């Protein structure tokens, strides 16, 4: 029935837009996902979202403990419209809740933080399975909760006096390298499943079509089905 709804809504979108959806979906991945913990600067948050869209990273997990995740739309350039944003802000321990959910989904938790057992980005073994790359707040960095729960630790090689990159720059460097590597590896199934593609395409159609909720309501009514 979901495919029938997609077909129905597709009638209200131009062929060019539908072709673009298919082209972008073909390059989307959930093999790598990004986790943002307590980001408080809208410019950084928005720049990271724009980077994720550019490199085909579909799912972003946003943890809000002390800071609300705010998007600067001029910086994001509409990227959030095409991404799947998952927020964790309803629990006392949102970071732990997010990590548990990601592990349940089969992700390795990879903290981007200097650590005694860390590994450099070029050495990261992306063939071991899906990875959730965690970036922490601008000043304090990743919380102790996530550091304690992480499976691996990752850092970017640096050769200057400055101790770290800006978070948006770090995310761009990490995602560029990892997204290129998984796409060029013949044995990694990095593409979205059919169900994932349908779910995302439906979300994009809803975001594109004005008053799509009314079209959906009529779709279910014509089939004698209560609106989902």
CATH of residue 114's domain is 3.40.1280.10
**Residue 79: pLDDT over 90:** no
User: Average pLDDT over the chain, rounded to whole?
Assistant: 91
Q: Are residues 54 and 88 in the same domain?
A: yes
pLDDT tens-digit series, residues 202-211: 999 999 999 9
Nearest Cα neighbor of 74 from 43, 101, 53, 104 is 43
**Residue 77: pLDDT over 70:** no
Q: What's the pLDDT band for 16 if we cut at 50, 70, 90?
A: very high
Nearest Cα neighbor of 150 from 167, 170, 135 is 135
Nearest Cα neighbor of 24 from 54, 50, 4 is 54
Asked if residues 84 and 196 have their Cβ atoms less than 8 Å apart, the reply is: no
Q: Are residues 87 and 124 in the same domain?
A: yes
Q: Are residues 135 and 200 in the same domain?
A: no
**Residue 186: pLDDT over 80:** yes
The boundaries of the domain holding residue 224 are 1-28+193-228
Q: Are residues 70 and 174 in the same domain?
A: yes
Q: Are residues 70 and 124 in the same domain?
A: yes
Global confidence as pTM: 0.91
Q: Are residues 74 and 180 in the same domain?
A: yes
Residue 90 burial (CB < 10 Å; 0-12/13-18/19+)? exposed
Residues 6+ apart with CB under 8 A from 158: 164, 165
pLDDT tens-digit series, residues 33-76: 999 999 888 888 889 999 999 999 999 999 999 888 887 766 65
Q: Are residues 95 and 176 in the same domain?
A: yes
Q: How many domains does the chain have?
A: 2
Q: Are residues 70 and 154 in the same domain?
A: yes
Q: What's the pLDDT band for 228 if we cut at 50, 70, 90?
A: low
């Amino acid at each position: 029935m979901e495919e029938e709804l997609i077909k129905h809504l597709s009638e209200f979108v131009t062929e060019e837009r539908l072709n673009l959806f298919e082209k972008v979906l073909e390059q989307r991945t959930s093999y790598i996902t990004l986790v943002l913990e307590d980001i408080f600067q809208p410019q950084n948050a928005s720049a990271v979202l724009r980077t994720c869209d550019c490199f085909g990273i579909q799912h972003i997990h946003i943890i809000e403990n002390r800071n609300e995740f705010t998007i600067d739309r001029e910086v994001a350039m509409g990227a959030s419209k095409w991404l799947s944003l998952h927020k964790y802000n309803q629990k006392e321990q949102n970071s732990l809740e997010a990590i548990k959910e990601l592990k349940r989904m089969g992700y390795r938790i990879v903290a981007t933080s200097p650590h005694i057992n860390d590994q450099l980005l070029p050495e990261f073994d992306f063939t071991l399975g899906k990875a959730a790359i965690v970036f922490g707040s601008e000043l304090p960095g990743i919380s102790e909760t996530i550091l304690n729960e992480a499976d691996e630790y990752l850092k970017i090689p640096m050769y200057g006096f400055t101790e770290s990159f800006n978070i948006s720059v770090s995310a761009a460097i990490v995602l560029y390298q990892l997204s290129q590597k998984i796409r060029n590896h013949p044995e990694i199934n990095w593409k979205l499943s059919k169900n994932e593609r349908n779910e995302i395409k439906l979300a994009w159609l809803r975001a594109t079509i004005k008053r799509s909720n009314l079209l959906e309501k009529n779709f279910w009514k014509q089939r004698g089905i209560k609106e989902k």
